[in-house]
Structure 1
Amino acid sequence: MEITLVEQLEERLRQAMLQSDVLALEELIADDLVFTTHTGELIDKQMDLEAYRSDIQKLILLQGQQQRVQLYGNTAVVTVKMEVAGTFEGKAFVGIYRYTRVWAKSQPQGNWQVVAGHVSQVL
Protein backbone atom coordinates (compact mmCIF):
# COMPACT_ATOMS: atom_id res chain seq x y z
CA MET A 1 0.00 0.00 0.00
CA GLU A 2 2.66 2.55 1.02
CA ILE A 3 4.81 1.67 -2.01
CA THR A 4 1.90 2.60 -4.28
CA LEU A 5 1.48 5.89 -2.40
CA VAL A 6 5.17 6.75 -2.80
CA GLU A 7 4.94 5.90 -6.53
CA GLN A 8 1.96 8.27 -6.80
CA LEU A 9 3.91 10.99 -4.97
CA GLU A 10 6.85 10.47 -7.34
CA GLU A 11 4.48 11.06 -10.27
CA ARG A 12 3.08 14.20 -8.60
CA LEU A 13 6.64 15.42 -8.11
CA ARG A 14 7.51 14.68 -11.76
CA GLN A 15 4.46 16.60 -12.99
CA ALA A 16 5.17 19.53 -10.65
CA MET A 17 8.75 19.71 -11.95
CA LEU A 18 7.59 19.65 -15.58
CA GLN A 19 4.99 22.36 -14.94
CA SER A 20 7.21 24.45 -12.63
CA ASP A 21 4.36 24.15 -10.10
CA VAL A 22 6.01 25.79 -7.12
CA LEU A 23 2.94 25.33 -4.88
CA ALA A 24 2.96 21.56 -5.42
CA LEU A 25 6.74 21.42 -4.98
CA GLU A 26 6.40 23.40 -1.74
CA GLU A 27 4.08 20.69 -0.42
CA LEU A 28 6.13 17.71 -1.64
CA ILE A 29 9.56 18.92 -0.49
CA ALA A 30 10.53 19.10 3.19
CA ASP A 31 11.68 22.43 4.59
CA ASP A 32 15.04 20.91 5.57
CA LEU A 33 15.74 19.29 2.19
CA VAL A 34 19.35 18.47 1.35
CA PHE A 35 19.88 17.74 -2.35
CA THR A 36 23.14 17.05 -4.16
CA THR A 37 23.10 18.14 -7.80
CA HIS A 38 24.88 16.39 -10.66
CA THR A 39 27.75 18.88 -10.21
CA GLY A 40 28.13 18.05 -6.52
CA GLU A 41 26.56 21.30 -5.31
CA LEU A 42 24.36 21.07 -2.21
CA ILE A 43 21.07 22.91 -2.48
CA ASP A 44 18.21 23.42 -0.06
CA LYS A 45 14.45 23.72 -0.60
CA GLN A 46 14.45 27.47 -1.21
CA MET A 47 17.23 27.22 -3.80
CA ASP A 48 15.34 24.42 -5.57
CA LEU A 49 12.05 26.34 -5.57
CA GLU A 50 13.75 29.51 -6.80
CA ALA A 51 15.13 27.64 -9.84
CA TYR A 52 11.54 26.83 -10.86
CA ARG A 53 10.03 30.16 -9.76
CA SER A 54 12.52 32.23 -11.77
CA ASP A 55 12.71 29.89 -14.79
CA ILE A 56 16.44 29.34 -14.19
CA GLN A 57 15.53 25.71 -14.81
CA LYS A 58 12.78 24.69 -17.20
CA LEU A 59 12.19 21.00 -17.80
CA ILE A 60 10.36 19.73 -20.88
CA LEU A 61 11.06 16.00 -20.52
CA LEU A 62 11.29 13.75 -17.47
CA GLN A 63 10.85 10.20 -18.72
CA GLY A 64 11.45 7.65 -15.98
CA GLN A 65 12.49 4.03 -16.20
CA GLN A 66 13.84 1.43 -13.80
CA GLN A 67 12.08 2.99 -10.81
CA ARG A 68 12.48 1.13 -7.54
CA VAL A 69 10.90 1.95 -4.16
CA GLN A 70 12.21 0.48 -0.92
CA LEU A 71 10.37 1.06 2.35
CA TYR A 72 12.04 1.35 5.75
CA GLY A 73 9.26 2.14 8.23
CA ASN A 74 8.39 5.83 7.82
CA THR A 75 11.08 6.28 5.17
CA ALA A 76 11.18 5.33 1.49
CA VAL A 77 14.17 5.33 -0.84
CA VAL A 78 13.38 5.79 -4.51
CA THR A 79 15.85 5.23 -7.31
CA VAL A 80 14.93 6.04 -10.88
CA LYS A 81 16.74 6.48 -14.17
CA MET A 82 15.41 9.49 -16.09
CA GLU A 83 15.77 10.92 -19.54
CA VAL A 84 15.80 14.65 -18.87
CA ALA A 85 15.64 17.60 -21.25
CA GLY A 86 15.14 21.30 -20.73
CA THR A 87 17.03 24.51 -20.22
CA PHE A 88 19.26 25.68 -17.39
CA GLU A 89 20.21 29.35 -17.29
CA GLY A 90 18.98 29.64 -20.86
CA LYS A 91 21.10 26.79 -22.22
CA ALA A 92 19.45 23.65 -23.59
CA PHE A 93 20.47 20.27 -22.20
CA VAL A 94 19.47 16.63 -22.60
CA GLY A 95 20.80 13.58 -20.83
CA ILE A 96 20.22 10.44 -18.84
CA TYR A 97 20.34 10.87 -15.06
CA ARG A 98 19.87 8.59 -12.07
CA TYR A 99 18.01 10.06 -9.13
CA THR A 100 17.92 8.83 -5.56
CA ARG A 101 15.28 10.44 -3.37
CA VAL A 102 14.52 9.85 0.29
CA TRP A 103 10.91 10.34 1.30
CA ALA A 104 9.99 10.55 4.99
CA LYS A 105 6.58 10.40 6.60
CA SER A 106 6.23 13.31 9.01
CA GLN A 107 4.63 12.91 12.40
CA PRO A 108 1.87 13.52 13.45
CA GLN A 109 0.40 14.66 10.09
CA GLY A 110 1.62 11.58 8.25
CA ASN A 111 2.51 13.50 5.08
CA TRP A 112 5.29 12.12 2.89
CA GLN A 113 7.93 14.63 1.76
CA VAL A 114 11.30 14.49 0.04
CA VAL A 115 13.96 15.07 2.71
CA ALA A 116 17.10 14.25 0.71
CA GLY A 117 18.16 13.50 -2.82
CA HIS A 118 21.00 13.06 -5.24
CA VAL A 119 21.31 13.05 -9.01
CA SER A 120 24.14 11.78 -11.19
CA GLN A 121 24.51 11.84 -14.93
CA VAL A 122 24.64 8.41 -16.51
CA LEU A 123 27.50 8.34 -19.00
Structure 2
Amino acid sequence: MERVLVGSADPEIVALETRLRAAQLDADVAALDLLIAEELLFTGPDGQLGTKAQDLAAHGSGVVRFRAHEPEELRIRRVGADVAVVALRARLAVEVAGALVRGTYRYTRVWAREAGGPWRVVGGHVSEVPAT
Protein backbone atom coordinates (compact mmCIF):
# COMPACT_ATOMS: atom_id res chain seq x y z
CA MET A 1 0.00 0.00 0.00
CA GLU A 2 2.89 2.37 0.69
CA ARG A 3 3.79 2.44 -3.01
CA VAL A 4 0.41 3.97 -3.94
CA LEU A 5 0.19 6.38 -1.00
CA VAL A 6 -0.46 10.01 -1.96
CA GLY A 7 0.16 12.66 0.66
CA SER A 8 1.29 12.26 4.24
CA ALA A 9 2.38 8.86 5.47
CA ASP A 10 0.27 7.26 8.19
CA PRO A 11 1.81 3.85 8.90
CA GLU A 12 -0.94 2.81 11.33
CA ILE A 13 -3.76 3.31 8.82
CA VAL A 14 -1.72 1.93 5.92
CA ALA A 15 -1.21 -1.25 7.96
CA LEU A 16 -4.96 -1.51 8.62
CA GLU A 17 -5.76 -1.09 4.93
CA THR A 18 -3.16 -3.75 4.12
CA ARG A 19 -4.74 -6.16 6.62
CA LEU A 20 -8.22 -5.47 5.24
CA ARG A 21 -7.07 -6.10 1.65
CA ALA A 22 -5.46 -9.41 2.66
CA ALA A 23 -8.59 -10.48 4.54
CA GLN A 24 -10.76 -9.70 1.51
CA LEU A 25 -8.48 -11.66 -0.84
CA ASP A 26 -8.30 -14.62 1.56
CA ALA A 27 -12.01 -14.52 2.47
CA ASP A 28 -10.73 -14.48 6.06
CA VAL A 29 -13.97 -13.97 7.98
CA ALA A 30 -12.23 -13.98 11.37
CA ALA A 31 -9.90 -11.15 10.30
CA LEU A 32 -12.77 -9.21 8.72
CA ASP A 33 -14.76 -9.62 11.94
CA LEU A 34 -11.95 -7.91 13.87
CA LEU A 35 -11.57 -5.08 11.33
CA ILE A 36 -15.24 -4.15 10.85
CA ALA A 37 -17.38 -2.40 13.48
CA GLU A 38 -20.60 -4.04 14.65
CA GLU A 39 -22.70 -1.03 13.63
CA LEU A 40 -21.12 -0.61 10.20
CA LEU A 41 -22.78 1.79 7.76
CA PHE A 42 -21.53 0.83 4.29
CA THR A 43 -23.03 1.74 0.93
CA GLY A 44 -22.31 -0.69 -1.89
CA PRO A 45 -21.96 0.10 -5.59
CA ASP A 46 -25.70 -0.53 -6.05
CA GLY A 47 -26.57 2.18 -3.50
CA GLN A 48 -27.80 -0.31 -0.91
CA LEU A 49 -26.68 -0.21 2.70
CA GLY A 50 -24.86 -3.32 3.84
CA THR A 51 -24.23 -4.56 7.36
CA LYS A 52 -21.27 -6.27 8.92
CA ALA A 53 -23.28 -9.50 9.24
CA GLN A 54 -24.13 -9.42 5.53
CA ASP A 55 -20.50 -8.78 4.57
CA LEU A 56 -19.18 -11.61 6.75
CA ALA A 57 -21.86 -13.99 5.48
CA ALA A 58 -21.08 -13.15 1.84
CA HIS A 59 -17.36 -13.83 2.33
CA GLY A 60 -17.96 -16.91 4.46
CA SER A 61 -20.37 -18.54 2.01
CA GLY A 62 -18.32 -17.69 -1.06
CA VAL A 63 -21.08 -15.56 -2.58
CA VAL A 64 -18.45 -12.80 -2.76
CA ARG A 65 -14.88 -13.78 -3.61
CA PHE A 66 -12.13 -11.28 -4.38
CA ARG A 67 -9.99 -12.69 -7.21
CA ALA A 68 -7.77 -9.63 -7.70
CA HIS A 69 -7.28 -6.42 -5.73
CA GLU A 70 -4.62 -4.08 -7.13
CA PRO A 71 -4.39 -0.75 -5.27
CA GLU A 72 -3.69 2.27 -7.49
CA GLU A 73 -4.02 5.22 -5.11
CA LEU A 74 -4.39 5.58 -1.35
CA ARG A 75 -5.13 8.85 0.44
CA ILE A 76 -5.52 9.18 4.20
CA ARG A 77 -6.88 12.07 6.25
CA ARG A 78 -6.69 11.90 10.03
CA VAL A 79 -9.56 13.58 11.85
CA GLY A 80 -8.22 13.61 15.38
CA ALA A 81 -6.42 10.80 17.16
CA ASP A 82 -9.21 8.22 16.78
CA VAL A 83 -10.72 8.81 13.32
CA ALA A 84 -9.28 8.55 9.83
CA VAL A 85 -10.89 8.81 6.41
CA VAL A 86 -9.40 6.75 3.60
CA ALA A 87 -9.92 7.01 -0.16
CA LEU A 88 -8.61 3.97 -2.02
CA ARG A 89 -8.77 3.44 -5.78
CA ALA A 90 -8.16 -0.16 -6.84
CA ARG A 91 -8.56 -2.45 -9.84
CA LEU A 92 -10.74 -5.35 -8.73
CA ALA A 93 -11.90 -8.69 -10.00
CA VAL A 94 -14.68 -9.95 -7.74
CA GLU A 95 -16.79 -13.03 -8.19
CA VAL A 96 -20.34 -12.28 -7.04
CA ALA A 97 -22.76 -15.22 -7.02
CA GLY A 98 -20.69 -16.95 -9.70
CA ALA A 99 -20.35 -13.95 -12.05
CA LEU A 100 -16.93 -12.29 -12.39
CA VAL A 101 -17.03 -8.50 -12.19
CA ARG A 102 -13.94 -6.48 -13.15
CA GLY A 103 -13.32 -2.77 -12.92
CA THR A 104 -11.74 0.09 -11.09
CA TYR A 105 -13.45 1.09 -7.87
CA ARG A 106 -13.05 3.83 -5.28
CA TYR A 107 -13.58 2.99 -1.63
CA THR A 108 -14.13 5.66 0.97
CA ARG A 109 -13.74 4.21 4.45
CA VAL A 110 -13.98 5.71 7.90
CA TRP A 111 -11.71 4.05 10.44
CA ALA A 112 -12.32 4.80 14.13
CA ARG A 113 -11.39 3.67 17.61
CA GLU A 114 -14.64 3.70 19.52
CA ALA A 115 -14.56 3.90 23.32
CA GLY A 116 -10.84 3.16 23.39
CA GLY A 117 -11.22 -0.06 21.41
CA PRO A 118 -9.25 -1.19 18.38
CA TRP A 119 -9.37 0.49 14.99
CA ARG A 120 -12.35 -0.67 12.93
CA VAL A 121 -14.15 0.36 9.77
CA VAL A 122 -17.28 2.18 10.98
CA GLY A 123 -18.53 3.47 7.66
CA GLY A 124 -17.83 3.62 3.98
CA HIS A 125 -18.86 3.55 0.39
CA VAL A 126 -17.65 1.91 -2.81
CA SER A 127 -18.42 2.97 -6.35
CA GLU A 128 -17.14 2.13 -9.78
CA VAL A 129 -14.74 4.56 -11.43
CA PRO A 130 -15.85 5.08 -15.04
CA ALA A 131 -13.31 4.09 -17.70
CA THR A 132 -11.60 7.09 -19.28
- Shorter-chain TM-score tier: over 0.9
Distance in 2, matches of 1:85 and 1:31, equals: 27
86-95 vs 21-30, which moves further: 86-95
TM-score normalised by the chain length of structure 2: 0.89
Are positions 1:84 and 2:96 aligned together? no
Once superposed, which parts of structure 1, at least 4 consecutive aligned residues long, lie more than 3 Å away? Answer: none
Distance in 1, matches of 2:34 and 2:78, equals: 21
Long gaps (5+) in structure 1: none
SS at match of 1:107: helix
- How many correspondences in the alignment? 121
Structure 1, residues 23-47: CA drift from partner, whole Å, max 9, x if none? Answer: 0000000000011000101001000
Are positions 1:34 and 2:48 aligned together? no
Distance in 2, matches of 1:107 and 1:6, equals: 18
Structure-to-structure mapping, 1:55-94, within 5 angstroms? 55-73=62-80, 74-94=82-102
Distance in 2, matches of 1:44 and 1:86, equals: 19
Distance in 1, matches of 2:100 and 2:69, equals: 14
Code of the residue aligned with 1:45 in structure 2: it is K
CA RMSD across the alignment: 1.1
TM-score normalised by the chain length of structure 1: 0.95
1:65: how far off?
A: 1.5
